[in-house]
Amino acid sequence: MAVNARPSPGKTLLDPSNHALIMIDHQPQMAFATKSIDAVLLRNNAGMVAAAAAGFGVPTILTTVAEKSFSGPIFDEVKQPFPGAEIIDRSTMNTWEDARVCDRVNEIGRQRLVLAGLWTSVCIVGPALSALDQGFEVHVIADACGDVSDEAHRCAMDRMVQAGARPMTALQYLLELQRDWARGETYALTTGIAVKHGGGYGLGLIYAKAMFDAHEG
């Protein structure tokens, strides 16, 4: 059977209207023991994800675990893009077992979820496998997650992928939301986030603009 190429995006690609983001336990106490990713890079990547979601209007749930008694406040990089947003503080390690989180997911009403947080093997595996079991589609932003060892993070990612979750990176998330540089209304937003959080890519944007007045697209 012949197939024809069409200039349209694949159904599994993310866009601002087809998913919700859940950012889980990006907190100091959780980061202290994280060894699979440098803490500065982790904060940067989490900030990129949060800024992208806020800028593109993606419904986002922010949640912490034992904020006042143990884990400390959510990273500023995650909180600041969502001024005034409710932060759901839990006792459960598995976010999905907190009824307030599920109520918010149901209120948003999107079957595709994107997860990021600490630690990968506990606070991301739990909701990922639980959501998959209930028929949700799950994406995990691997470099906005972290764990107590490289092995713990890798095993957790493997376990989720084997169950059907789809891995991606923070920069991939940002650029997938933009996807076309001809979308002028979000061009400055996307490149601004990339300049601030995009590492070498962001430096390249700064250089090209300063030296040649160049731009993407």
Could you list the active site residues?
123
- Does residue 120 contact residue 153 with C-beta atoms inside 8 Å? yes
> Cα–Cα distance between 201 and 44 in angstroms, integer?
13
- Does residue 12 contact residue 166 with C-beta atoms inside 8 Å? yes
> Cα–Cα distance between 215 and 209 in angstroms, integer?
6
For 116, phi then psi, to 5°, come to -155, 140
Tracing tokens 């990547």 back to the chain, one arrives at 45
By DSSP bridging, strand 137-141 and strand 112-117 are parallel
Structure tokens belonging to residue 117? 């947080």
> Cα–Cα distance between 130 and 62 in angstroms, integer?
18
Three-state SS sequence of 100-120: HHHHHHHHHCCCEEEEEEECH
Q: What is the DSSP letter of 202?
A: H
